[in-house]
Structure 1
Amino acid sequence: MSAEHESIPPWYKQFWPWFLIGLLASSITFSLVYLTLSIHYYDGSVGGDYYKQGLAINEQLAKQEHAQSLGLEAVMRADALTGDIVVDLQGERRPERLHLALIFPTDSHRDRSLTLEHVREGRYVGMVDERLNYRWYLQLQPAEGRDAEWRLTGEARFPSDDEIALVPGL
């Protein structure tokens, strides 16, 4: 009886150890790439003081009810080529400046704010520094921040040559 001697190659010349090492390496690589992307593109959609913001909804409603009692409404037009923003305000109050907040729904880094200057009889003009695309929420107030007396809101999809209505209400 002769026993044939089969030579077994060393582990580094076999398929299965390299297959398992490859699975492990690919999962680690994917995890590190995913971690890097999630840190870099953090959307910040939930504020740190979300509870206080939730309680402040009554204050926002009061501002919009006040705008409604003053009979305030506005029509906005945006020129896609020049970046000019023109707002025609109708109602009792006409301050010297208006604050327009352009809020991007999913990325707070893209939010913009403008100060619009009064030029004549309810017309306000301002300019955005970069082209607006996609959908935006609009908030028009006589002052910046939470201390404003009233607020008008609207929604727009840019670029658009249509008039955008800004009205009291959520």
Structure 2
Amino acid sequence: MKTSWYKEPWAWFVFILPATAVVAGIATYFIANHNPDPLVVGDYYKKGKAINLEVSKVKLAQKLGMRFALKLVNNELVIKPTGIDKVFPVLNLNFYHPTLAERDFYLALTADGNGYFRHTFDEPVKGKWRLTITPFENHWKIQNTITLPQSEFIDIIPNVREAN
């Protein structure tokens, strides 16, 4: 006696495998198109030229002897110049999160009476960050990868390898 095809378990097994592949393909398509990778650069040539310009800014910072020390304790950020005896009207600080672009932030700090640059955060800042320090004129640049918070001062020095 013959049984109907839909009563055979092997028939369902054969149909479910391709159906699963189709559903997974559709899901992958929607994930790829609705959550694009923000780290991909569209115009890589212009980006490469900009990297060369950034490297020259880091080399200028090295030549000028620019150095800073950074500390973050109890949500208070303190940055003090340690390289040259020069007064900076404004320091631009960019904090870049390694994976989440929406967590990036920017600070423009002026010096206090001691020549230190200070900022108090409303919420704790923790984890690994790529820090960029530039002057108001933006002619030199220091970029380092740091981990926050820091209870002791850490050196922030120009490093060409960090600029890439």
TM class, shorter-length = 0.7 to 0.9
Q: TM-score, normalised by structure 2?
A: 0.79
Contact 1:141 1:150 in 2 (8 A): yes
- Secondary structure, aligned partner of 1:77: strand
Q: Tell me the percent identity.
A: 28
- Secondary structure, aligned partner of 2:59: helix
Query: Which of the two has higher C-alpha Rg?
Result: 1
Matches of 1:68 and 1:38 in 2, distance apart? 42
Identify which of 91, 109, 122 aligns with 1:116. 109
- The C-alpha deviation readout for 1:54-102, integer Å capped at 9, x for no partner, is 12233222212222233221011123x43x2211123244322211111
Equivalent residue letter for 1:54: G
Structure 1 vs Structure 2 CA RMSD: 2.4
1:140 and 2:130 matched? no
1:26 and 2:16 matched? no
Identify which of 1, 6, 10 aligns with 2:4. 10
Q: Which residue of 2 aligns with 1:45?
A: 39
Matches of 1:149 and 1:121 in 2, distance apart? 24
CA, structure 1 residues 133+35, in 2 after alignment: closer, same or farther (shift >3 Å)?
A: farther
Question: How many angstroms does 1:41 deviate by?
Answer: 4.3
- Higher share of residues assigned helix: 2
Structure 2 unaligned runs (5+)? none
CA, structure 1 residues 128+35, in 2 after alignment: closer, same or farther (shift >3 Å)?
A: farther
Contact 2:71 2:149 in 1 (8 A): no
Matches of 2:133 and 2:13 in 1, distance apart? 60
Contact 1:98 1:142 in 2 (8 A): yes
Identify which of 88, 97, 108 aligns with 1:95. 88
Structure 1 unaligned runs (5+)? 1-5
CA, structure 1 residues 29+165, in 2 after alignment: closer, same or farther (shift >3 Å)?
A: farther
Aligned length: 159
1:63 and 2:53 matched? no
Contact 1:141 1:152 in 2 (8 A): yes
